[in-house]
Amino acid sequence: MAAISKELFGKLPCGCPVEAYTLTNANGMKVKIITYGGALVQLITPDRDGRMADVINGYDCLDDYRAADGYQGALIGRWGNRIGGAKFTLEGVEYKVGMNDNGANSLHGGCHGFNEKLWQAEIVDGALALTATSPDGEEGFPGNLTVKVTYTLTDSNELVIDYDAVTDKKTVINLTNHTYFNLGGYASGSILGHELRLDADSYLETDEQLIPTGRLVPVEGTPFDFRTAKPVGRDIEADDRDLKIGGGYDHCFNFVGGKQDKPVLRGELYDPRTGRAMQVWTDQPCVQLYTGNMMNGPVRFKGGYPQTPHNALCLETQAMPDSMNHPGFTDATLAPGQRYTTRTIYAFSVR
């Protein structure tokens, strides 16, 4: 069971305090989470020689988190990823949601998503439980949604993220976490030399605005085949339509067999330089791989480290983006009386 300490991270313009909770396990691994956006702001873990380093991007202060783009480390909702046209129809009613992407679409919950919420924190059985409510009509989504996200750090160096939600009106939901990982340490340079394996046999083709076309493309024979581990950068500049649109990988990969009843091993990221490895266990049907293609903002990371493309990558476990607008995609609706539950585990080790 992790030890948990609390400190003040800053205050919002309303004067509301933002707290930081640090979870430390028996091995000295540390994870720091703030109540603003429920964001992971620090994850310190050893390399093969026992040297500790912070392997996630983030900022030094609350003002930087509020000013910067990129959803660094944040909880994402109500809808992770994109909704084409910033609208969908549910039970015959059209809902228009926050339009904040390319002037036409909705991204990561709209103009003011869960990444901007001040979450309420409680320490429960050695874990950090964060709760928030999203009222009916917030960002255009139907239903009063109550959400609980629990972060647990085990003595096996696993960061466990449990998502739980209920609604009083049928709605759509797709929660995820937007942490950017660099297993060499966030200030160590590019992740293109990291090796990645994903248990995905297809990916979603997108249009020029990164909205799914509805077509599932088999990874066989494409630069999107990570079924056998390979360097992230090996094929990133291939002459491929989808890669050129994204400026690299910014695509939803569909796991073999889809959604599972419990978390299963779906992928692994490995940094040959330091020996750090990170397994991804999840019950979700998909993962969005984003290789930080547009990471070039003016707000500097912790310690003044500059933002540069491909400095880190995201592995956002989720349902298919824009699924409410594509018959045959994953069902991501939630009705009264149902409970949305999902678990993702990032398990750290060394080789």
The answer to whether 116 is a known catalytic residue is no
Max Cα-Cα span within the chain: 59
CA–CA dist 324, 351 (Å, integer): 41
**Active-site pick, 138, 195, 268, 316:** 316
Alpha helices in the chain (DSSP H): 62-67, 241-246
Cβ atoms within 10 Å, residue 156? 14
CA–CA dist 270, 276 (Å, integer): 6
The answer to whether 316 is a known catalytic residue is yes
Q: Which residues pair with 341 in a beta bridge?
A: 164
CA–CA dist 82, 31 (Å, integer): 28
**Active-site pick, 108, 138, 139, 178:** 178
At 79, give phi and psi (nearest 5°).
-125, 110
C-alpha dist (Å) from residue 37 to 74, 117, 225: 5, 5, 33
Pair 106, 82: CB distance under 8 Å = yes
Pair 7, 19: CB distance under 8 Å = yes
Residues designated catalytic? 178, 316
